[in-house]
Chain A
Amino acid sequence: MRRIAVLIVLVALVAVPAPPQAQPGAIRIGMLAPLTGPFAQIGKDMVNGTEMYLDEINRQVAGRKIELTVEDTEGNPATALNKSRKLVDQDRVHLLTGGLLASVGYALQPYIDAQKIPATYPVIAADDITQRKPARWIVRTGWATSQPMHPFADWVLKNTKYRKVAAIGMDYAFGYETVGGFQRTFEEGGGQIVQKIWTPLNTNDFAPFLAQIKRDADAVLALFVGRLALQFAKEYETSGLKARLPLLGGGTTTDESVLPQMGDEALGIVTALHYSQAIDTPVHQRFAKTFETRAGKIPSYYSEACYTNMRWIVEAIKALGGKVEDRDQLLAALRKVDLKDAVRGPLTVDQLGNPIQNIYVRKVERVGGRLQNTVIATIPDVSQFYKYNPEEYLRQPLYTRDYPPCRHC
C-alpha cells in the first residue's frame, strides 16, 4: 500500500506535463518577480503595473501579439538565475525584464551578457549595474540608488537650515548607496553627516538604535523598506524624537507600498525619489486612477516602474516595426527610447543605460483623509552622475558601509 502511494507520488512528479508551447509569431517577454517570500507584495505590485500597460495596448504591438511569462524568483539570486535559464532556453523569450533585489541584479548580469539577451531592470537600483560594472545588454528603466540623493542633499542645503544630519539605515548595499549619495553632495556643500547607524535587516525593535541618535543633530536621514519602514516611523514618533528632530529619508521610507498602513507618525517626513503617487500631471493622474480601480490599491513606485518599463519596451519594439528577433537592433532601440510624456515625467537614457529623469522631493501630508507624498520640489533632468563629471565620478569607489568615511562622527 505504502509502496503504491509512494510510486504514485513519484510518477506524478515525473509526469508533470510540459508547459504549453508559445505560439509562433508572438513577441515573448519574460519577467522575473518575487511572487513568494517576504517580498511577495512588492512582486505583486510589479506584475500589476506590467499587466496594466499590456492590457491598455491589448497585448499587441506592430501587428504582433505580446506574450508575457512571469516567473517567481523568491527573492533568491540562484532561483532567479534558474528561472532566467528557463525563460531564455525553454520559452525562448525575446527579452528579459523584472527583478527586485540588488543581489538578483548582479547575479543575472553575467548570464544576460553571456547570452546576449536584451534585458531591462525596472526596479533594481544597485549603482554599479550602470556605473563601474556596466552591463552591455541591460537597460535600466528605473533608477540608480544614489540618483535621487545627490540633488536631494543640495535641496536640503538650499531650502532648510539643517547642517548636521544623523543617518540611520538598513545594513546592506541599498542603505549604503542611499546614505553615501546624500553624504557626498551634502558634505561638499558644507553640511555634515554627524553619525551613521546601520540596523540589521531583521531588526524587531528600534529602541536601542534610536537611543544612540545624537540629539544635537539638526535632522535625521532614514532609509527603510517595507515592514521596517512602517515600524521605524512608528517608533520614531513614540520615542519622542519626531518632535525634536525632523525626519528626512530615501524614497522607500514612505513609498506608497507602505504609506497606506502608516498613521500620523508619517506626517512631515521629507524624502526624494523619481516617483510620487501625488504627481500632479494629467497623464499621471489618469494612471493612478486606473491603477487604483484595477488593483484595489494606490500605485507604488514599483507598480509605476513596471508600467513605464513595459511602455518603454513596447516603444522600442514599435521603433523596430516589431522585429524583435534582431537582438542587437532591439538593444539599440531600447537604448534610444525617449519618453516625453511618461507617467513619472520625461525620460531619456544615458550612455551607460540609466534613465535621466525628474527627481521629486516629497513631503508626507494628509489630503482628503489619505496620506500622500506631496511633491514640494521637482528637480528636472537628473542623471545618475547629477552635476558631476561621469569619468571623475566613476573613478570614485562605490558607496559602501565605510565610504564616504564619516569625518564628522
Chain B
Amino acid sequence: MRSPVVAAALVVAALALVAPVLPSYPLTLLTQVLIVAVLAMSLDVLLGYTGLPSLGHAAYFGIAAYAVGILATERAAGFATCLLAGLVLATATAAVFGVLAIRAVGTYFLMITLALGMVVWGLAFRWVSMTKGDNGISGVPRPELPWPGSLWSPLPFFYFALVAALVAWLLLGVLVRSPFGMTLKGIRESESRMRALGYNVWLHKYLAFVISGLFAGFAGVLWAYYNGFVSPVDVQLVTSVETLLMVALGGPGTLAGPALGAAAIVFLKNFVSVYTKRWLLILGAVYIGVILFAPRGVFGAFTRGHR
C-alpha cells in the first residue's frame, strides 16, 4: 500500500516541478496524457481487476463529453452543472448497459459492449438537432474556477488535470484494495469458486461496470474542456479500442500501468508521426513487442510475482 503511494507522489511532484519550464506543446500533450490516463484506469477496473474486456468504453466517455459540450455551449452552464450532468449521464448509461452486458462472458461480452458502444455512436452521429452530428460541437469554453490562473492557459489547466487525475487514481486505488476490489479479483480468477463461496457475482460485476463508467465519464468531462470540441470521433469504436490497448500495453490490473500505457501511446502517436507517415507500423511493432516480451504489460514486467 505504501510503495505505490510514494512512487505516485514522486511522479506527481516531478510533473508539477517540470511543468512550468516546459514549452506549451509538450505541456498540452502531458495534459492529454493525464486525461486519457483517467479513462484507461477506469477501464482497468473492468479489464484488469474484474476480467471483463469492454469494447464500448468510449460510450460513457463520449456521453459525458457531449453533456458538457451541449450544456456549456447552449445553456452556458457552469462547471458544477456540467460535471454533475456528465457524471450522472455516464453512470446512468453504464447502469443501463450493465444490465444488458453483464449476463454475457468472454467474446460475447466483447460483442455486446461493442454493439452498445455503436448505439451511442449512432446517436451522436444521427441525432443532429442535439449533437450537431458529424460537424461536432465546437467552442466549448473552459470553466471559470477559483483556481490560480485562468484555465484557458496551458499551465493552470495542466495542474487542474493533474489534480483531477490524482483524485481519480486515489479513489480507484482505494476501491481496488477494498474488500470489494478483492472480490472483483476473486471473480476474475474464478467466478464459479466465488459463487460457491456465496458471493453475489452478478452484483459485483455490475457495480464494477457502473463505477468504471462513472470514471470514464469523469475523463470525458475533462476531455471536452481540454479540446473545447466534441464530435462522434470521441465515441467511436477506435477510441474504445485504443483505450483497451493502453490498458493492455501498460499492464492490466495495476492502475499505474494503464496510465503509463496512456502516456506511451499519446507520445508515440504525436512524436513518431512527426518523422514518418508510417508511424502506425511502429505503433504496431511496439504492441507486438510488448505482447511477446511483456505479456502482462510494461508495468507488469517490473512488478512480477505479486499483483
- Which residue of A13, A110, A171 contacts B138 across the interface (Cβ within 8 Å)? A110
Q: Which of B163-171, B172-180, B205-213, B272-280 is near enough to bind chain A?
A: B272-280
With A3-B302, A6-B298, A71-B273 as known contacts, state yes or no: A85 contacts B25, CB within 8 Å: yes
Q: Does A285 contact B (CB under 8 A)?
A: no
Q: Looking at chain A, what size class is its interface with the partner chain?
A: 35 or more
Decide if B29 touches A82 in the complex (CB within 8 Å): yes
The list of the 9 closest CB pairs from A to B, nearest first, reads A89-B25, A172-B134, A90-B25, A107-B229, A5-B293, A106-B138, A89-B24, A6-B301, A110-B139
- Inter-chain contact B280/A102, CB cutoff 8 Å: no
Inter-chain contact B25/A107, CB cutoff 8 Å: no
Bitwise, B246-273 to A at CB < 8 A (1) or not (0) is 0000000000000000001001111111
Which residues does chain A contribute within 8 Å of B136, judged by CB atoms? 77, 103, 106-107
CB distance from B240 to the nearest CB of A (A): 14
Tell me whether A107 and B267 are in contact in the complex, defined as CB-CB below 8 angstroms, given that A5-B293, A71-B274, A78-B234 are known contacts. Answer: no
10 contacts between A and B (CB under 8 A): A2-B294, A5-B294, A9-B298, A72-B273, A72-B277, A86-B25, A103-B136, A110-B229, A126-B135, A173-B134
Question: Are B293's CB and A2's CB within 8 A?
Answer: yes
* B270 touching A102, Cβ below 8 Å: no
Contacting B135 at CB < 8 Å: which of A13, A114, A173? A173
- Complex Cα distance A111/B138, Å? 10
B131-172 contact mask (Cβ, 8 Å, vs A): 1 or 0: 001111011000000000000100000000000000000000
Tell which of A6, A9, A81, A114 touches B229, judged by Cβ atoms closer than 8 Å.
A81
B141 — nearest CB in chain A belongs to which residue? Answer: A110
| Chain B residue total in the interface (Cβ 8 A) | 45
Q: Tell me, yes or no, whether B228 is within 8 Å of chain A by CB.
A: yes
Chain B residues closer than 8 Å to A401, beta-carbon distance: 128, 133
Question: What residues of B have a CB within 8 angstroms of the CB of A19 in the complex?
Answer: 274-275
Q: Does B231 contact A (CB under 8 A)?
A: yes
In the assembled complex, the CB of A41 is this many whole angstroms from the nearest CB of chain B, namely 13
Question: CB distance B229 to A77 under 8 Å?
Answer: yes
A13 touches B264 (CB 8 A): yes
Asked if B271 and A16 make an inter-chain contact with CB atoms under 8 angstroms apart, the answer reads yes
Complex: how many Å from CA A204 to CA B132? 25
Contacts of A111 in B (CB 8 A): 228
Interface SS majority for chain B: helix
| B residues less than 8 Å from A109 (CB atoms) | 138-139
A172 (CB) vs chain B CBs: closest residue: B134
Which residues of chain B from 273 to 307 have any CB-CB distance to chain A below 8 Å in the complex?
Answer: 273-275, 277, 279-280, 286, 289-290, 293-294, 298, 301-302
What residues make up the interface of B, taking CB atoms closer than 8 Å to A? Answer: 23-26, 28-29, 32, 125-126, 128, 133-136, 138-139, 152, 227-229, 231-234, 264, 267-275, 277, 279-280, 286, 289-290, 293-294, 298, 301-302
Partner of A110, one of B228, B231, B279: B228
CB–CB A10/B298 < 8 A = yes
- CB nearest neighbor in B for A171: B126
Please tell me if the beta carbons of A36 and B280 are within 8 angstroms of each other in the complex: yes
A residues 1-47 touching B (CB-CB < 8 Å): 2-3, 5-6, 9-10, 13, 16, 19, 35-36
* Minimal beta-carbon separation of A33 from chain B (angstroms): 10
Chain A residues with CB under 8 A of B274: 19, 71, 86
**B229–A78 touching, CB < 8 Å:** yes
Residues of B within 8 A of A348 (CB): none
| B152 contact set on A, CB distance < 8 A | 114
In Å, the complex CA distance between A103 and B124 comes to 13
Q: Does A400 contact B (CB under 8 A)?
A: yes
Asked if A76 is at the interface of the complex by the 8 Å CB criterion, the answer is: yes
Asked if B289 and A172 make an inter-chain contact with CB atoms under 8 angstroms apart, the answer reads no
B233's closest neighbor in chain A, by CB?
A: A76
Indicate whether A81 sits within 8 Å of B294 (C-beta atoms), given known contacts A3-B302, A103-B135.
no
A173 to B131, CA, bound (A): 12
- With CB as the reference atom, state the residue of chain B lying closest to A88: B25
What 1/0 flags go to A104-130 for Cβ under 8 Å of B?
001101110010000000000010000
Chain B, Cβ-Cβ closest to A126: B135
A322-347 with Cβ < 8 A to chain B: none
Q: Which residues of A contact B269 (CB under 8 A)?
A: 79
Contact of A106 among B126, B135, B272, B289 (CB under 8 A): B135
Chain B residues near A10 (CB-CB < 8 A):
264, 298
Query: Which residues of A, 66-81, contact B by the 8 Å Cβ criterion?
Result: 71-72, 76-79, 81
